[in-house]
Amino acid sequence: MRIKNLIVFCLSLAIVAADQATKLIALNDFYEGESVSVIPGFFNLTLTFNKGVAFGLLADLPDPTRQVLIASATLTALGVIFFLLIKHYRHDFVAQLALAAIVGGALGNIIDRLRLGKVVDFLDFYYASYHWPAFNLADSAVCLGVLVLMFRPTKACKVSPAATKAVS
């Protein structure tokens, strides 16, 4: 295994481990709804559970329907990520790291769903009357990976002089 592949793999594992460790601490140290101010007026640690997906979407669906939809979407997303890794980002290490962050975050939340039937959230940011939905390290890794891919400059295709001449 090449060193870059090992780094990508280890990044995913590190994200899963850090995510699960912080969730375990939150579960052991807080009861649901308990809130501890870290930065008054801006950041609390608040234990909540999310049965849905991002921002609680699908949380109100019946359990079997919700579980099938979430599992299907997650498996599809992981399939797309592995396709991108193999076909499009084989030589782009930064994109591979971004995808590793997405995979690590997805796996961290999948573990929660399999173990608890819901995702543990505890990072709670707010300002004045605006309150961002609580989230966790796995969610942060997924968002960071997506942002890197969104703003990653794509490599321009090289056009041969013959092709340029043929067009003009």
Which residues are catalytically annotated? 121, 139
- In the block, residue with structure tokens 């995702």: 119
- Report, as an integer, the average pLDDT of 35-62: 84
CA of 136: how far to CAs of 3, 5, 32, 140, 163, in Å?
29, 26, 15, 6, 50
Q: Render pLDDT for 25-42 as a digit per residue (tens, 0 to 9).
A: 999 999 999 999 999 999
Structure tokens that stand for 62 in this block: 């019946």
pTM of the model: 0.80
State the pLDDT at residue 56.
63
The Cα–Cα gap between 119 and 3 comes to: 33
Q: What φ, ψ does residue 35 adopt, rounded to 5°?
A: -130, 130
State pLDDT tens for residues 81-126.
777 777 777 788 998 999 999 999 999 998 998 899 889 999 999 9
**What is the structure's pLDDT at 157?**
46
Query: 152: pLDDT confidence band, cut at 50, 70 and 90?
Result: confident
Of 9-13, 62-66, 158-162, which range is least confident?
Answer: 158-162
Determine which of 2-6, 68-72, 107-111 has the lowest per-residue pLDDT on average: 68-72
